[in-house]
Amino acid sequence: MQKSKLAFFMLTIIGITSNIMADAMPASLLNWQKQNHIPAVSLTIDSTNGAKSYYNGTTAIGNTNKIQQQNYFQIGSISKTFVAAAILTLEQNGKLNINDPLGKYLKNYPRWSKITLKQLLNMSSGIYNYTDALPIMSLPKAQQQKLYTAEELVQIAYKHKDYFASGRNWKYSNTNYVLLGMVVEQAAGQNLGELLPLDFFEPLELNYTQYVDNGFPSNVKPYLVHGYRDNKDVTDINLSSYDAAGAIISNSSDMAKWFRLLMSGQVLAKTQQQELTSTISIGEHKPKPSNAGFGLGVYEYTSPEYGKIWWYQGVTEGYVAFVGYLPQKDLSFAITTNKRNSANVNYFMPDNQLMKTLIPQILKTQ
């Protein structure tokens, strides 16, 4: 997969203070941050009443630079919502169909040639998850900072046995979205580093969102919040090892804006929106709720405490992020954090105690 340099959006803090409430973050999130020793947390709530952002913490352990809107976090698998939207946009433009077989676009994987794009999108392909065989944290530093290609990552999975015949079950696999990134590039004739800004980042004014599968641009790096695996600084790990499955950096305000636009039907045509939100059951995959569904790059869950939510949690080696959309209130929210605790990485499952408390508190801000 060709890599590209990204144009850097000029950073400015002019005019952002009107929607920043640094000291008013919901108490449950502040308490959780303290209990779990998370250096920095950002929360944005986006609704018909406007957007409000809350920040607490510093850009690195040991410094006094407080996080602000212009600071980037890694968002991990929330990147998949953009890749799914790219596929669906290509479909509505007549460039592909989600029921097409993978072999129509990628010829080098004959075992997977009949798997459909839809099965990749909704995680029913049965393809092995390559990240299970790429333990980045245990690799030498040179390999952590290596520039991986999509083809290298897919080849890792192709050497492993599939989990099940496509369409027979559900199992999460990052390989699905690396393949989809390759399909996007093949069908569009552009690499993702060019397409995502042109289709989404720029027209939607997501000014603090970038696809960085080619390393961090020098003018972005100073604004990237440091990330930690337990207490080890892992900021410099190259996100090319995630490729289309998780190589986007952003902030909570852009993510809340994006997810509300996407889930409220303002990004895709009606047919593609229906496809996006057509879910299959994920079954027992703890710690995810057993009654959750998965659409085309988005989870669905209905809580007895706060109702229906569309959501995604994203994780990289030193960052955990979350986006949620409550359709009954036309409200989205995004949380970004900069520490991954080995003991428990699934901070924001929508049925855990934190979220049962936090989401009602978010609703009360409206």
pLDDT tens for the chain, 366 residues long, are 444 333 333 333 323 333 445 448 999 999 999 999 999 999 999 999 999 999 999 999 999 999 999 999 999 999 999 999 999 999 999 999 999 999 999 999 999 999 999 999 999 999 999 999 998 888 888 888 889 999 999 999 999 999 999 999 999 999 999 999 999 999 999 999 999 999 999 999 999 999 999 989 998 999 999 999 999 999 999 999 999 999 999 999 999 999 999 999 999 999 999 999 999 999 989 889 989 999 999 999 999 999 999 999 999 999 999 999 999 999 999 999 999 999 888 999 999 999 999 999 999 888
Q: How many CB atoms lie within 10 A of CB 13?
A: 10
- Residue 23 lies inside a defined structural domain of this protein: no
- CB-CB contact of 118 with 139 (8 Å): no
- Residue 53 lies inside a defined structural domain of this protein: no
The residue type found at 244 is A
pLDDT value of position 68: 94
The C-alpha atoms of residue 270 and residue 130 are separated, in whole angstroms, by: 34
- Residue 27 lies inside a defined structural domain of this protein: no
Place of tokens 């957007």: 51
CA-wise closest residue to 319 among 55, 99, 39: 39
- Residue 175 lies inside a defined structural domain of this protein: yes
Q: Are strands 210-211 and 280-281 parallel, antiparallel or unpaired?
A: unpaired
Q: How many CB atoms lie within 10 A of CB 206?
A: 23
Number of domains in the chain: 1
The number of angstroms, rounded, from the C-alpha of 150 to the middle of its chain's C-alpha atoms is 17
Backbone angles phi, psi at 333, to 5 degrees: -150, 150
Q: Is the dihedral of CA 350, 346, 180, 163 positive or negative?
A: negative
Three-class secondary structure of residue 268 per DSSP: coil
pLDDT value of position 138: 85
CA-wise closest residue to 135 among 288, 237, 2: 237
Q: Which residues of 259-286 are buried (b: 16+ CB within 10 A; e: fewer)?
A: bbbbbeeebbeeebbebbbebeebeeee
Cα 145 to Cα 72, 225, 228, 241: the distances in Å are 19, 18, 16, 9
- Residue 2 lies inside a defined structural domain of this protein: no
DSSP letters, 106-167, are --S-GGGTT-BHHHHHTT-S----GGGG--GGGS-HHHHS----HHHHHHHHHTSPPSSSTT
What is the extent of the structural domain holding 181?
74-253+266-296+312-322
Place of tokens 């890749």: 83
- Residue 12 lies inside a defined structural domain of this protein: no
- Residue 92 lies inside a defined structural domain of this protein: yes
Question: Which CATH number fits the domain that encloses residue 168?
Answer: 3.40.710.10
Whether omega for the bond prior to residue 26 falls within 30 degrees of 0, making it cis, is: no
- Residue 24 lies inside a defined structural domain of this protein: no
